[in-house]
Structure 1
């Protein structure tokens, strides 16, 4: 049996995605060309995410529709708020399966090149002043992505600590109030500032942040490594290694979609075991 391609959407995943997509009724008068099937277009978007290929080079013979069709549909679904709802739904499924650990979280940032510029870019101090962006990620104790943000490459990691904690959605999946705040947040020296520690405490979360100027070996790395592994998995999607989109909302759509796919993989592995 042939192994499915990573951009192919199986029936189980499509059953999760399809109800989230906006329904577009075809006009009775002057209907125009028939709308390309959503499932095929979604697979085209995943093909771009996995391979990093340019929209105009999307292979027509694979049945995805044109690259412009896929781009327009991604913009349409982004405006409709599909991507955060998909991520939240999968997080709820993980919590229901006892696979989500809110006892602690880990945060980190990762710089990428932004070759075409655009909003949420800046001159990066770690890349010879070239234009870039930063991915900022917060994961649970096992490395499941909870939220992700995008900033210019010149932004300090510490400035995104509170926005990341606030971006974690209320996760349903069990009886009682939805879980949103972790018990602890772990961070490296890039987040070391007493102002951020106070703000984290104000959210009811305990900050464990390495101090600048101290010797390495604080012990946080034994728990923080999960966010670095999550970045490695996230950047296996080639479209996320370099920012090609001028529009930040399109790149953020790819970013959140990548997080949702990592959640789907974890959910499948949890069910399988």
Structure 2
């Protein structure tokens, strides 16, 4: 009998199946770990946008955490959509109560179509309560701007944002550059707990099928950490997996379509020391 590492995603559902908990579980399966989930919110959405969502009652969220803790040996976990300040706090208290291994925080704020997935009043709660628990945090540029209060338009700004995120308590930081203006490469800045830093760069892929990119990267990263690989290697594998999932596209829906979670990472990602 094969003993696969067990991992946990704490996030919202996605009707499309390409983002949120659905993308997390698909990614975890592809990375050969056993995925479990605590559902914080349920969304009604498609590739054209988010039509509605509802956060679950605190009691039910706490019962999900307790159920998993009583039966599973979770080696790594991640957060995604957490809805509002109240639910961020509920998740924080559960993560303090249970040891689920290294924590990846994907500070999901806005859906690909522009719908808000985190209330404005929750930004401070994420900053003050969740980030200090994070083993690694994976914001895109708009999320990094909201969390740090910095404007980010240049590579120097990305470096400053990474340092600011560490100052907020996150041990390792990936500032994802996919929302930048460079249309030739997608470059992410990584700063590790030991102070070392590097850039990961992949060819820019012109496509609207990027629904669930952030969820997929953070889920792959969580899976790799559960296997016990180093943080730097886990981050590079996650970047390669997402790049391949975007490049080898599938046709689903009529808007911002999902990634191809069937792929295996390729070698198109380049690493440069910062």
Structure-1-length-normalised TM-score: 0.27
Kindly name which structure, 1 or 2, has the bigger radius of gyration based on alpha carbons: 1
More strand by share: 2
More helix by share: 1
Structure-2-length-normalised TM-score: 0.27
